[in-house]
Chains A and B, each alone.
Chain A
Amino acid sequence: MQTKKTGFLSSLKAIVCDPFTMFGVVSAILLLLLTVAPAKDYLSEWRGYQRQYLTFIQNRGDAVTLRRHFQGGINQIWIPQLDVVDRCQTCHVGVGEASLADVKQQPFRAHPPIPHKLTEFGCVICHRGQGAATTVNQAHHSDMTGEEPILPARYIESSCGQCHHEPLEGTPKLNQGRTLLSRYGCVNCHTITLPDGSTMQATDFPPPLTHIADKTTREWIYAWLKDPAAYSSTATMPNFMLSDSDASDISAFLMADSTPDPADRISSPAASKTPPADPTAGASLYGESFCASCHATQNEAGNLVGGTLGPELTNVGTKVKPAWLLAWMRDPKHYDPATRMPQYRWTDAQLNLLAAFLENKTDPDFVANVHLQPATKQQIAHGKELVMENGCASCHEIPGVPKPENFGPNLSRVGSKPLVQLIFLPGMEHSLPAYLSGKIRQPRAFGASLRMPKFNLSSAQVEAATTALLSLTDRSFSLPANLQVPSTPQSHYEPAGQAGQLMSSLNCLSCHSINGHGGTMAPDLSWEGSSVQRTWLESFLKNPNTLRPTLIRRMPKFNLTDAESTVLTDYIMTAYQTPSFVRDEMPLTGYSPALIEKGRELFYSRYACQSCHMVNPNVDKGYIGPTLTDVGARLNAAWIFHYLKDPQALRPGTIEPNQHLSDDDANALTAFLMAQKGGAGQGAKQ
């Protein structure tokens, strides 16, 4: 053993000492080491996945097809115009194989069906990540400048929003998020410029605080400032996390800043305190006037019932002063010209009834513990400072406080904000979605000096808002113009003339949309004049309850005078006509019985319209579409004919299927429908 060891040592010594032998040895080591480079290449991650894939498809029934489709090596989608080099398919080999749709093992699952071809945009434009990379870590998780980690699937709709600036049917979360950004006044402080150059507009209309002292008390303002959600769970006003003294000072300033409005004082009728004869009369009037279409109230079970267009009225009695309430209901536009509340033509008796009903909706606890000392000058001055610091005037009109410019950071490209520029909270996931949703959920956690208030949003709403913010990317600005699907341009249509004044006072556009302007709660009226018959419209405006009586949110009765409804009818029948056909090109009556009978057969057998519509309420069970029992008295024949031919052309987005009717069939169906004048159980004139 001993000799062997010394033998080994001496030969080692000989090698080390002789440079020529040493050269040989070192060269051998070097060559060996150099072979590691191609070996590393051969054993690279993506080759591993491709080998896995081949094993994976081996035992499948469609192995032959899949293997024929398989191409080894780097697979990439290259779209120079879009700056796309996506090598995702190198590992996600089966992404285009429909038969691998339900495969659990990633990265081999097929892509779920989408409206675009996979090769049209590549992967990264929607999913983010680094397309050029061929390692999982780099492709999915790189967060260096100019690179983004993969977008979690629950925010994927944001990617659609890079091109599509109008609401899409398939992106409810994105649509909701965009609505939230507008509705919660985010865009009042944060400017959001869209790729087409327009800026996102707010759709909430916070009340002006010019005459706030007429409307409510300082105590209520104080309690409201402290926690708006305590007054109403649907409050869009955020919580500014004010200290007691700050809230007190702001309320003092707002009261001191308020100027009295003469109309608010004289409007108080003496009778308002006398209890109504019928205790349920107020509630009935509230119901008949369809206040709930816009305003929500909490019922006994604690559920909110009603619309979200106007403020929640559950505790309105705690908030508003009776005199102001009466003045408001008599003429809302007087107090706030921008309000969406229509002017109902209520009588004084009705006004008192409603006011008394609303005044009873109170929550005494809300202001019970608020005891404020009279404010000093310093406190009022401090209150003004606070109002400016917190940017109250971004949303509210406050006398003497100008609307601040660019109060919050510009969010036009927030969806591409580099992670290195963000400061995360300890323990927070290092990703942009986590940051944005964290910022919306708990804005003040990111620093006590931050001014962003806390909004009263549910988790789903936060996720939706985050989705909408994530769609505001750099890429959306750099995409070729032909890929941009712009939102419908903002219309500022206002009806003109006498009818226009009337419609403005009734705020028709709060619910109806006309020529691209207005609300979405009620049908679009742009072509109403082509659609309906004059007599029907006139009577409908006086008593709207006749159409769709089963709906909870319905057109309220505005107590129009005959003159008013005539003016409106004339205007609608004249101004709101479709250019695609002449209204009176088909007669309202006089169709031959044979034609009507043919139409009936088509209705019931060939097209099975009764599965959605009702003509004979005793027999038909269609509840999906509107009832057609009296359609012949309501709609014009030409409208029905053209609507049947192509429903989407006249009512974009309607679910009425386009059956591609022949002119004859459409004619027969029109004749049948025009025969439905209501009344008779038979439903049709024989």
Chain B
Amino acid sequence: MNSPKDFTASVGADMRVTQKRVLFVTRRTSPQVKSFDEERVQAFPEALIRALLAIECLFIVLVFLSLFFNAPLEGIANPTNTPNPAKAPWYFLGLQEMLHYFPPVVAGIIIPGLLVTALFVIPYFDINVEAEGFFLRNYQRRLTLSMGISGALSLFLWFFDVYVALVPTLIIAGLMLLAALSSTDSPNRLRRYLASRPISWWIMTWFLFELIVLTTVGTFFRGPGWSWVWPWRS
């Protein structure tokens, strides 16, 4: 236990002739090997060339974009002349959309703060390592819980007139209900799939859905004074 080394290792003189992968498991390190003995390839050059190829393909797309689509450049910054609407970069438009509904402390600080914290702690709170379907155990309790929470959330959003966020919430809640009413042996592929989704999947999917909808709305459907516009009608 207290000895600095639990083992000694040496390499034979014929190392170059035959190679053998040796794994030392000590008390201090414990690499988890999930699969083993699977066919492997050398990273150089097999993986690297593919990575390079992927990057090159992406680069071709970017070069093509850059050659034929110009980056936007407006007039010089003028503090006295506010464009209407003044929009943040696209990836913050979901937040800006929330700012439209909630006070800045909520939409600008609490919600993104919670999101970032949630993202950071995800791996430490993933109890359900086996990732089994949410409704496969404690069916009654979990159904009540999930429907209760999504119902409360929907009411909250409805109360603040946040229809943009309400619609995805309702859709996800509907899908959860469908999952609860389905079994993993269902002949329908979608129902089989939904029934086997764990709770973390439901939460993340809801978040992703909201993110996409809010960002899309903020980017394309908001005009002067953050009013609703139809992008195809201008």
Contacts and interface: CB of A to CB of B under 8 A. Distances in A.
Interface in B58-87: 59-60, 63-64, 67, 74-76, 78, 81, 83
B49 interface: yes
Contact of A146 (B59, B67, B78, B83): B78
Given A144-B74, A420-B81, A37 B53 contact: no
B75 A37 contact: no
Given A30-B60, A146-B78, A420 B53 contact: no
B75 A26 contact: no
Interface residues of B, number: 19
A23 B52 contact: yes
Contacts of A30: 56, 59-60, 63
A23 B45 CA distance: 12
A36 interface: yes
Contact of A23 (B53, B75, B78): B53
Contacts of B75: 144-147, 418
A19 B74 contact: no
B67 A37 contact: yes
Interface string A1-42: 000000000000000000110110011011001101100100
A29 B52 contact: no
A418 B79 CA distance: 13
B60 A26 contact: yes
A30 B81 CA distance: 42
A40 B76 CA distance: 26
Nearest to B49: A19
A23 B67 contact: no
Contact of B56 (A23, A145, A147, A420): A23
A546 interface: no
A40 B66 CA distance: 12
B220 to A, nearest CB: 20
B60 A145 contact: no
Contacts of A20: 45, 49
From B45, B52, B75, residue with most partner A Cβ within 10 Å: B75
A251 to B, nearest CB: 42
Contact of A40 (B59, B67, B74, B78): B67
Interface string A144-182: 111100000000000000000000000000000000000
Contacts of A26: 53, 56-57, 60
A19 B57 CA distance: 12
B49 A145 contact: no
A618 interface: no
B50 interface: yes
Interface residues of A, number: 20
Nearest to B47: A19
Interface in A35-91: 36-37, 40
Interface of chain B: mostly helix, strand, loop or mixed: helix
Interface in B12-63: 45-46, 49-50, 52-53, 56-57, 59-60, 63
Contacts of B83: 145, 420
A145 B74 contact: yes
Contacts of B76: 145-147
Given A144-B75, A145-B81, A421-B81, A33 B50 contact: no
Contacts of B53: 19, 22-23, 26
A23 B60 CA distance: 12
A490 B75 CA distance: 39
B63 A34 contact: yes
A30 to B, nearest CB: 5
Contacts of B64: 33
A23 B83 CA distance: 46
A146 B77 CA distance: 8
A35 to B, nearest CB: 10
B92 to A, nearest CB: 22
Contacts of A418: 75, 78, 81
Contacts of A36: 67
Interface of chain A: mostly helix, strand, loop or mixed: helix
Contacts of A23: 49, 52-53, 56
Contacts of A420: 81, 83
A36 B64 CA distance: 9
A421 B78 CA distance: 13
A144 to B, nearest CB: 3
A23 B67 CA distance: 22
A418 B59 CA distance: 39
A26 B61 CA distance: 11
Interface string A119-150: 00000000000000000000000001111000
A145 B52 CA distance: 43
A30 B74 CA distance: 30
Contacts of B57: 26
Contact of B63 (A19, A33, A145, A147): A33
Contacts of B60: 26, 29-30, 33
Nearest to B60: A30
Contacts of A144: 74-75
A27 B49 CA distance: 12
A44 to B, nearest CB: 13
A435 to B, nearest CB: 16
From B46, B49, B83, residue with most partner A Cβ within 10 Å: B49
Given A19-B50, A26-B56, A27-B56, A145 B67 contact: no
Nearest to B51: A19
A70 B102 CA distance: 63
Contacts of B46: 19
A145 B56 CA distance: 38
B227 to A, nearest CB: 16
B124 to A, nearest CB: 38
Contacts of B81: 145, 418, 420-421
Nearest to A20: B49
Nearest to A144: B75
Nearest to A138: B73
A145 B81 CA distance: 8
B41 to A, nearest CB: 11
A410 B52 CA distance: 62
Interface in A168-218: none
A34 B64 CA distance: 9
Contacts of B49: 19-20, 23
A33 B63 CA distance: 7
A501 B53 CA distance: 98
A12 B39 CA distance: 27
Contacts of A40: 67
A36 B66 CA distance: 11
A33 B66 CA distance: 11
A27 B63 CA distance: 13
A421 B50 CA distance: 53
Nearest to B45: A20
Interface in B200-214: none
Nearest to B78: A145
Contacts of B52: 23
A36 B63 CA distance: 9
Given A23-B53, A26-B56, 16 more contacts: A19-B49, A22-B53, A23-B49, A23-B52, A23-B56, A30-B56, A30-B59, A36-B67, A37-B67, A144-B74, A145-B75, A145-B76, A146-B76, A147-B76, A418-B78, A420-B83
Interface pairs A-B: 4 shortest CB-CB: A145-B75, A144-B75, A146-B76, A146-B75
Interface of A: 19-20, 22-23, 26-27, 29-30, 33-34, 36-37, 40, 144-147, 418, 420-421
28 contacts: A19-B46, A19-B49, A19-B50, A23-B49, A23-B52, A23-B56, A26-B53, A26-B56, A26-B57, A27-B56, A29-B60, A30-B56, A33-B60, A33-B63, A33-B67, A37-B63, A40-B67, A145-B74, A145-B75, A145-B76, A145-B83, A146-B75, A146-B78, A147-B75, A147-B76, A418-B75, A420-B81, A420-B83
